[in-house]
Chains A and B, each alone.
Chain A
Amino acid sequence: MALLSESDANEVRKIFGSLERDVEIRAYTQRLECPTCQDTEMILRELDGLSDRIRLTILNFQTDREAAGKDGVERVPAIVVSDGTHSRVKFYGTPSGYEFSSLLTVIVDAGGSGKTLSEETLEFLDGLDKDLSLQVFVTPACPHCPSSAVLASRMALHSDRITSEVIEANEFQELSRRFRVQGVPRTVVNGQYYAEGALPEYMMVEALSRGLEEGPEGEKDLMDYIRTS
């Protein structure tokens, strides 16, 4: 039985109608010790069937090691979304609940020509002189999470200085513990700085530009710079 109902499938088909170029989705799964890999594959195969613009490749994390290394994939299930020229935008975990809408949005962004970020954000991204890794921890039942997930992904789609990972915190508990995730969304920057909650775009840019400039060693709340200034 299909995971997407007929009406949802029609809605997604309509959404994908706006794709102007092909979107490459590379998914990494494995047979054993990955309880959510099969669901992830099913969801992606259904999406693949809803538009000619989607080019889905499902790879085996265990046997396609070289590809996984090239894409920088470290765990499964992983979904890499791009226009075929990079592997900067990743989703880790089943794209269910609200995260399904995040994935749809990022696919549409990757295959569209529309401007999705503000002028100020683009200016900040174009002026970046260092690399940023953004890891956004989310849960599927969190309605605040998609805005953070999509913002990080859009930044990574735009700038080759940025990589984004949207991580389903329940599925990767060890990673969540390592980054001490107790609330979502939590955006971890370069494994060290973090921003709590769904920050609006302009605030995230301010936090990134000022927080990273003045940031000392050790874990640091990016918002401290805004609060104390």
Chain B
Amino acid sequence: MDLRTGLVGGNPGKGRTTDLVIAGGGPAALSASLYAARYSIDHVVLESYQPGGQAALTAWIENYPGMGRISGGDLAARMKEQAERWGGSFETATVTSTGLRDDLIEVKADSAVYLARFLIIATGAAPAKLGVPGEDRFYGRGVSYCATCDAPFFKGAHVMVVGGGDSAVKEGLHLSEFADRLTLVHRRDRFRAEPYLAEKLLSCDNCSVRWNTTVSAIEGEDGVEGVLLETPEGEERIDVDGVFIYVGRRPATEAFSGLVELNPDGTVKTRGIVGTSRSNVFAAGDVTDNELRQVVTAAADGARAASAVFNLMQ
């Protein structure tokens, strides 16, 4: 049986002056903390209220080398345990703004203020919305962004997944184990997802794909009853009980917009993988503009960022 130890909300943020603040709680931040701890860099990880970041929302991760098949929550929990064992320190705080104070970076969080010589931005990203009528209204009543959390409510149902990347296909496969029927809607004529996953979905008995199709509205009375689709053949309404949305991510960078240069899509503009427009600030994981967004690349970014801080401190 899976039993997650540790306290909810962890260690409330108290604020302090340190060499390094790592903002975020997903794989990039956890890996940065592990490396920083082993470099003996005095640091604090400011975790938001959801441990493990997006990885924790992934039912199964099968491409983190050496781990076989592992739930995203488990993988993140192991990373944290390892970082803590080496001396990584964690506080629960959501960063609300950042600025400069003398030679230091001031990191303001909801509960406390931190001053640091260096900052690693690893705040990750949140699911993007589709932006169609009905999406907000039916959130929690058939519209979901977390298959891991909500799949059990759709046993025997007809469920729609929107998107064509790794997350859409992977979580679609997870949902197909609960739902009676799964329809995946994708705006293009092929998947962006890795071929292994794509083939698995295409050969799944109760799955079907609508290519070149977009969702224009989510409809219902008290809950989701159907969606309006724009298809190559025109508008069409189909009945579904749930809509799971995986159409990309919004990087969580609002708190850093005055500190480092951002791209128009909100990601941190990087120089040489983890560098930013400011020499004592680094970025790691899904918050960056690096192309591949995987647990393994987030972890690698975290290691690189901690190493860059270590080199500058020498």
Contact = CB atoms under 8 A, between A and B. Distances in A.
A145 B8 CA distance: 10
Interface in A1-31: 3-4, 8, 11-12, 15
Interface stretch (A72-80, A85-93, A94-102): A94-102
A11 B5 contact: yes
B152 interface: yes
Nearest to B4: A101
Contact of B8 (A8, A146, A181, A183): A146
A147 B8 contact: yes
Interface of B is mostly: loop
Contacts of B308: none
A98 B139 contact: no
A49 interface: no
B49 interface: yes
Contacts of B146: 142, 144, 183
Interface stretch (B50-58, B196-204, B226-234, B284-292): B50-58
Nearest to B111: A118
Contact of A139 (B49, B50, B56, B152): B152
Contact of B149 (A8, A139, A147): A139
A150 interface: yes
B157 to A, nearest CB: 9
B258 interface: no
A16 to B, nearest CB: 11
B130 to A, nearest CB: 16
Given A182-B153, A183-B140, A183-B141, A105 B7 contact: yes
Interface in A138-180: 139-147, 149-150, 169-170, 176, 180
A142 B140 contact: no
B8 A101 contact: yes
A37 to B, nearest CB: 14
A182 B140 contact: yes
Given A180-B222, A181-B153, A183-B141, A142 B148 contact: yes
Contacts of B140: 182-183, 186, 196-197
Contacts of A94: 1
Contacts of A141: 59, 71, 73, 148-149
B102 interface: no
Contacts of A69: none
A8 to B, nearest CB: 5
A43 interface: yes
A183 B241 CA distance: 12
A106 B242 CA distance: 33
A81 interface: no
Interface string B198-232: 00000000000000000000000011000000000
A197 B57 CA distance: 14
22 contacts: A11-B5, A15-B5, A97-B73, A100-B5, A101-B5, A101-B6, A108-B7, A140-B2, A141-B71, A142-B150, A143-B52, A143-B149, A147-B49, A169-B153, A176-B153, A180-B222, A182-B140, A182-B150, A183-B140, A183-B149, A196-B141, A197-B140
Interface of A: 3-4, 8, 11-12, 15, 39, 43, 94, 96-98, 100-102, 104-105, 108, 139-147, 149-150, 169-170, 176, 180-184, 186, 196-198, 200
